[in-house]
Chains A and B, each alone.
Chain A
Amino acid sequence: MKPGTRILLAIRAFFKKYWLYIVVIAVVWIAVILINNYLKNRPVEVVVENTYTPNIPIMNSGESVPENEQEDVNSVIDTFFNYCNNKDYRNAYNMLTDDCKEYMYGNSLESFTEYVDLIYTSKKIYNIQNYSNVDNVYIYDINILDDILSTGTTGGYQTYTEKIALINENGIYKISNQGYIKKTTFTNVYGEDQNVKIDILYKNASYSREEYAVEIQNKTNGYIVIATGDLANEITLNLGDQKRAALDMRNNQIIIAPGQKAAVYLLFDKYYDDHKTPSEINFNLIRVYGNDEETASQGLTENANSSYSINISLS
């Protein structure tokens, strides 16, 4: 047998024995090459880096404004800004919540106009950053600045930042601005004994503070002293794990003449997004005096006929 014939026979024998393996390997091989080629040539989508995320809150990124509401919310802010920027006072004013109109501007368009004129001294631009979102209240920082694109910062530029809250009122987003959030009214929240009746009427929440409107009736024939500011913690707000003292009592002493009623406003530090719920207001040192005004005005406990505390639950 010729050597060439022998080789041919050997090759034939090899293929005859292993043809199935060869076919399987070839199919797998081709498949791998095709998939590899496809993956290599597949167009890769390049995501352009952008660190500006106006709708992701900086306090807690897990509580973003829902995606389906972001457009509405941004549009409302844009409309409000443009009204202010164009000095369209009335339309801008109408976008405020009723609570904001009352608390921040005394229901006065003129007062709002003064605010707009103070901030929008020339054509401005703005940007926003979601700060936090609590109980369907979306709080944004709005940064208002001179139109630096048009000026190129020639002559420098000024920026002004405030917090605005977007609140859904009957399906329409309204704005509370200058850090104000909203008003909460209390019903039948009071404490009473034979000397005083203390009614908690409502509170106005700003981003960093709460102001409680309180009416105190002196039922005695002498003076009642609730706070002079000389002692710490005469009035506190109980937040569960801590108590916050009422602010600036030295300049807002609460001394009530015999038989009189007094309307007082108690201010406490409290962040709207701290997830703490005020449980009660503590009037920690109510002092009952006789009808000597001078003695009462000193507020000394040892001169009082009696002294005690009242805690009023807010729930």
Chain B
Amino acid sequence: MKEKKLIINIGLVILVLILIAINIIFFINHNFKEDVASNNETNIVNTSTNINTEYNLVSEEQDEENRENKIATFNERQRMQTYFGQYISALESKDYESAYNMLYDGFKQNYFPTLQDFTTYAQNHYTSNMVVEYVNIEREGTIFVLTVKIRDPLNDNTQTEVPEQQIVVIENAVNDFKISFAVQQ
């Protein structure tokens, strides 16, 4: 009889220990996930500034997915600014092919049939340091028309008024967009 009670008591103690162990496992798992999420955030920021860090724990696909998830939480204005920002970043880093791929097909056919045409235009009209001031954003159905001023902070003459430019953006899906712009002769 005494042995039976002893076994029951030992069983209860083991049960409590198991509960404690489960709790510790949950705690560790939870904290580990938070660390990974935090590292992903760091990775997004670093990708945009082209700096590789030791926090880069996710694959390129995951990075893209995280980026899309983040953009999906933006409002329309922020999304349009993000898209045009990507285009400007590509031009600043002289990645003309990436910028060219962001252009709307019909627009390319009309004004820049080849990458070389666009590269020549971009070299003459864009610099490696640009600051975009968003004057207005309007929507025409599914299309957005951005009115912007593009400044070159290193070379701008403060006495000269920077002309406004119009940029047209269509968003097919999150981070899937095409751009066209008023071509300057």
A residues near B (Cβ < 8 Å) are 11-12, 15-16, 19, 22-23, 26, 29-30, 33, 37, 40-41, 46, 48-52, 54, 125-128, 143, 145, 147-155, 159
A154 proximity list for chain B (CB < 8 A): 111, 182-183
| B180:A149 contact, CB within 8 angstroms | yes
B13 proximity list for chain A (CB < 8 A): 11, 15
| B181:A152 contact, CB within 8 angstroms | yes
Stretch at the interface among B41-49, B102-110, B124-132, B149-157: B102-110
Which of A26, A126, A152, A154 has the most B CB atoms < 10 Å from its CB?
A152
- When A46-B69, A150-B104 are in contact, do A16 and B5 touch as well, CB less than 8 Å? yes
How far is B123's CA from A113's CA once the two chains are assembled, in angstroms? 46
Stretch at the interface among B18-26, B55-63, B92-100: B18-26
| B22:A149 contact, CB within 8 angstroms | no
| A143:B19 contact, CB within 8 angstroms | no
B115 interface residue per 8 A CB criterion: no
B104 proximity list for chain A (CB < 8 A): 149-150, 152
B168 interface residue per 8 A CB criterion: yes
Task: Tell me the count of chain B residues lying within 8 A, CB to CB, of chain A.
Answer: 43
How far is B33's CA from A41's CA once the two chains are assembled, in angstroms? 10
10 cross-chain pairs, A with B, having the tightest CB-CB distances, nearest first: A127-B141, A152-B180, A150-B106, A153-B166, A46-B72, A152-B181, A153-B182, A154-B183, A15-B12, A12-B9
How far is B141's CA from A126's CA once the two chains are assembled, in angstroms? 8
Find the B residue at minimum CB distance from A148.
B168
Find the A residue at minimum CB distance from B167.
A152
A33 proximity list for chain B (CB < 8 A): 22-23, 26
> How distant is B84 from chain A, measured CB to nearest CB, in Å?
13
B residues near A (Cβ < 8 Å) are 5-6, 8-9, 12-13, 15-16, 19, 22-23, 26, 30, 33, 69, 72-76, 79, 104, 106-107, 109-111, 139-143, 145, 166-168, 170, 174, 178, 180-183
| B16:A26 contact, CB within 8 angstroms | yes
How far is B182's CA from A50's CA once the two chains are assembled, in angstroms? 25
| A19:B12 contact, CB within 8 angstroms | yes
How far is B174's CA from A239's CA once the two chains are assembled, in angstroms? 50
The one of B106, B141, B166, B174 that contacts A54, using a Cβ cutoff of 8 Å = B141
- When A12-B5, A16-B9 are in contact, do A50 and B76 touch as well, CB less than 8 Å? yes
How far is B16's CA from A108's CA once the two chains are assembled, in angstroms? 90
| A26:B15 contact, CB within 8 angstroms | yes
B167 proximity list for chain A (CB < 8 A): 152
> How distant is B77 from chain A, measured CB to nearest CB, in Å?
9
How far is B21's CA from A30's CA once the two chains are assembled, in angstroms? 11
How far is B162's CA from A273's CA once the two chains are assembled, in angstroms? 46
B15 proximity list for chain A (CB < 8 A): 22-23, 26
| B139:A51 contact, CB within 8 angstroms | yes
A30 proximity list for chain B (CB < 8 A): 19, 22
Q: Besides A51-B76, A152-B167, 12 other CB < 8 A contacts?
A: A11-B9, A16-B9, A22-B12, A33-B22, A40-B30, A48-B174, A52-B142, A127-B142, A127-B143, A149-B104, A150-B104, A152-B181
How far is B33's CA from A176's CA once the two chains are assembled, in angstroms? 59
Find the A residue at minimum CB distance from B184.
A154
| A151:B19 contact, CB within 8 angstroms | no
B180 proximity list for chain A (CB < 8 A): 148-153
| B19:A152 contact, CB within 8 angstroms | no
B183 proximity list for chain A (CB < 8 A): 152, 154
B76 proximity list for chain A (CB < 8 A): 49-51
- When A15-B12, A16-B9, A26-B16 are in contact, do A152 and B166 touch as well, CB less than 8 Å? yes
Find the B residue at minimum CB distance from A48.
B72
| B23:A148 contact, CB within 8 angstroms | no
B168 proximity list for chain A (CB < 8 A): 148-149, 152-153
| B107:A150 contact, CB within 8 angstroms | yes
How far is B151's CA from A232's CA once the two chains are assembled, in angstroms? 61
